[in-house]
Amino acid sequence: MDTKTLCLAVLSRGPASGYEIKKTLEQPPYCLFQDTGFGSIYPALQRLNEDGAVATTDCTPTRRPAKRIHALTDEGRSRLLEALSQAPSPDRLRSDFLFTLLHGDLLPPDLVLEMIDARIAELEAKLSQVEACEPRADSPCAVFLHGLGRTHYGGCLDYLRRNRSKLARDLNAASAPSSKRAAE
């Protein structure tokens, strides 16, 4: 999804400042499947405002700096629904962890296992984030997505935990012959 669509999606839940939109996108559930740079939100909001998809008002609260509040217009809601109605692009998996594992045979076994342990800790944290998100009971799609997220992170964790010791044995067995040659 592009940044404009992400902003429209957040604003579909109510008016917000650019900072509030960014904070929302940094928290679960949004941060679990989209990544948006802070510097891209304000230009996107400006374009959405110019296009009539967002109405912007200046707000000057007492004892705080002025801020701009953005609200979804009918045009913005139509754009959001149009964007959401398009078939999503296939997911692209970019993972430094998986790339490193692909070439893990070049590394010392202990380093590979440390990386797996670190990934297990990361996935446990992600799973905790997902479990802490209470989906809106009136949203069947949110409830479904919550279950999918739990299954995804839980499945990855289960695989890493169940197969870590086998990988350790295989890595140690593969590195044993080179250790013998080095000692000779």
Q: How many CB atoms within 10 Å of residue 133?
A: 15
Helical axes 109-132 vs 140-183, angle rounded to 10°: 170
Residues 103 and 179 grouped into a single domain: yes
For residue 91, is it within any domain?
A: no
Determine the structural domain holding residue 19 and report its residue range.
3-85
**Domain closes at, from 34, 65, 85:** 85
Residues 78 and 101 grouped into a single domain: no
Residues 76 and 106 grouped into a single domain: no
Residues 127 and 51 grouped into a single domain: no
For residue 176, is it within any domain?
A: yes
**DSSP secondary-structure letter at 138?**
T
Residues 11 and 75 grouped into a single domain: yes
Residues 66 and 101 grouped into a single domain: no
This prediction's pTM: 0.73
Residue by residue, pLDDT tens for the chain (184 residues) are 889 999 999 999 999 999 999 999 988 888 877 877 778 999 999 999 999 999 999 987 767 778 899 999 999 999 999 999 999 988 888 889 999 999 999 999 999 999 999 999 999 999 998 888 888 888 899 899 999 999 999 999 999 999 999 999 999 998 876 555 455 4
**DSSP secondary-structure letter at 90?**
P
Domain count, the chain: 2
